[in-house]
Structure 1
Amino acid sequence: MALALVTGAGGEYGTAIARMLAAGGHRVAVNDLPDVDLRGLAAEIGGIAAPGDVTRPDGVHAMLGRLERTAGEHVGILVAAAAHRTTAPLPKHDLDDWWHVVDTALGGAFACAQAVLPGMAEHGGGRIVLLASEAGMAGRADATALSAAHAGVIALAKSLGRELAAFGIAVNAVAPAAPGEPTPLGSAATAGEVAASVAFLADPRLPTMVGQTLNLTGGRTRTRA
């Protein structure tokens, strides 16, 4: 089974994803900021703690190098779930914080995908799953940074899906509604459902799903590919 790297593993979605992939037989490396203690989660799932700031491309490459040396194998599955989620009305949203939201979700996904590409390509392929949100599909009031960042993540999945398919790398995204949002179904996706969707997209038996975004909004939002 491929070595999986889950960024944002200190968050609810990231933790659930790491547990799900480990339960499926993968060795899982869990990443978050250096001040987030991931040792307990890593020990629980028999994985590896790989701290690092995904907004710093040089730090991402260094973190990946340390991880692959420790693991003795390359990362075959990347799940980019790192996020900095703040919301504010447009006149009140601090510009530095706005960019931090974008740099974490969109910039972090790009930097991590760029870092794992050589190893995946050398070994014949891999899986990259990006975590977006309903805000990226439909927009959300008072959440311009989150909406713009996750729209970019969805577009990144489409673009990288086309570009990296030639290397045997399938790139897709998952977009859940925000917890607590009313939906026609009556509830938003749980962290467990998000994790199951990621595990589905990471499955090597699904090679032809490329550049897609799984809509986990309970019927709130309908999109076209």
Structure 2
Amino acid sequence: MALALVTGAGGRYGAAIARRLAADGHRVAVNDLPDVDLGGLAEEIGGIAAPGDVAHPDGVHAMLARLERSAGEHVGVLVAAAAHRTTAPLPKHDPDDWWHVVDTALGGAFACAQAVLPGMAERGGGRIVLLASEAGVAGRADATACSAAHAGVIALAKSLGRELAPFGIAVNAVAPAEPGEPTPLGPAPAAGEVAASVAFLADPRLPTMVGQTLNLTAGRTRARA
């Protein structure tokens, strides 16, 4: 199995994804902001803590360089799950905070994908899974930043899916319903279901699953081509 990097690993979804990939046999590096304690999770899964703010591209490249030197191999699986989530009516949403939401989710996914690309190409392929949300598919009131950012993440998965497929790199996304929101089947998906979906997309035995978004919304929304 490959070296996997999970950003946003201090969050509910990110931690579940890191645990699932480790259980599947990957060596997992966990990333989150420098002030987030990742030591316990890294020790639990036998992985590596790789702190850094993905909203800053230069820091992403430096973090990845340190990680790959320490691990002695290139990242073969990237899961971009970092997010900064705030909600507010548009007239009251602070512009700096609005852009921080976008810079973390969409900008972070871009920066991480760009950083791992040379190593994945050198190793002959890889898997990139971007964590979006239902807000990026259907929109959400009072959450324009989150909706715009995750719509961009979904479009990024489609575009990179086309661009990177010739290098053997499959790019896809997962868009779960927001926690606490009702769906036709009841509650939003549990973290374990999100992690299982990511693990499915990270499987090297799925070479033609490219540019897709798995909507974990229990039938409330669907993807559109």
TM-score, reference length from structure 1: 0.99
Indicate conservation of the 8 Å contact 2:33/2:53, yes or no.
yes
CA distance in 1, matches of 2:54, 2:201: 22
Deviations 1:146-180 (A, max 9, x none): 00000000000000000000100000000000011
Indicate conservation of the 8 Å contact 2:135/2:151, yes or no.
yes
CA distance in 2, matches of 1:222, 1:176: 11
Q: What percentage of aligned pairs have identical amino acids?
A: 90
CA distance in 2, matches of 1:147, 1:224: 16
Q: Per the alignment, in what secondary structure is the counterpart of residue 136 of structure 1?
A: helix
CA distance in 2, matches of 1:50, 1:24: 20
Q: How many residues align?
A: 225
Indicate conservation of the 8 Å contact 2:213/2:223, yes or no.
no
Q: Per the alignment, in what secondary structure is the counterpart of residue 66 of structure 2?
A: helix
- Point out the more displaced range, 123-132 or 179-188: 179-188
CA distance in 2, matches of 1:199, 1:91: 39
CA distance in 2, matches of 1:20, 1:201: 12
CA distance in 2, matches of 1:165, 1:104: 25
CA RMSD of aligned residues (A): 0.5
Q: Per the alignment, in what secondary structure is the counterpart of residue 141 of structure 2?
A: coil
CA distance in 1, matches of 2:169, 2:210: 9
CA distance in 1, matches of 2:96, 2:210: 34
Alignment of 1:76-225 (within 5 A): 76-225=76-225
CA distance in 1, matches of 2:186, 2:58: 43
- Point out the more displaced range, 183-192 or 2-11: 183-192
CA distance in 2, matches of 1:222, 1:164: 25
Give the drift of 1:224. Answer: 2.0
CA distance in 1, matches of 2:62, 2:162: 27
CA distance in 2, matches of 1:218, 1:142: 22
Deviations 1:47-87 (A, max 9, x none): 00000010111110110010001101110000000000000
CA distance in 2, matches of 1:142, 1:55: 22
Indicate conservation of the 8 Å contact 2:189/2:216, yes or no.
yes
Give the drift of 1:20. Answer: 0.2
Q: Per the alignment, in what secondary structure is the counterpart of residue 28 of structure 1?
A: strand
CA distance in 1, matches of 2:181, 2:68: 39
- Stretches of structure 2 that go unaligned for 5 or more consecutive residues are none
Deviations 1:13-41 (A, max 9, x none): 00000000000000000000000010000
Q: Deviating runs (4+, > 3 A) in structure 1? A: none
Indicate conservation of the 8 Å contact 2:164/2:170, yes or no.
yes
Give the drift of 1:222. Answer: 1.9
Give the drift of 1:187. Answer: 1.5
Deviations 1:173-215 (A, max 9, x none): 0000001111001121111000000000000000101000000
Give the drift of 1:223. Answer: 2.4
Indicate conservation of the 8 Å contact 2:31/2:38, yes or no.
yes
- Stretches of structure 1 that go unaligned for 5 or more consecutive residues are none
CA distance in 1, matches of 2:151, 2:48: 31
CA distance in 2, matches of 1:41, 1:222: 33
CA distance in 2, matches of 1:120, 1:193: 27
CA distance in 2, matches of 1:213, 1:66: 31
Give the drift of 1:220. Answer: 0.8
Q: Per the alignment, in what secondary structure is the counterpart of residue 102 of structure 2?
A: helix
Indicate conservation of the 8 Å contact 2:60/2:112, yes or no.
yes
Deviations 1:81-111 (A, max 9, x none): 0000000011110000000000000000000
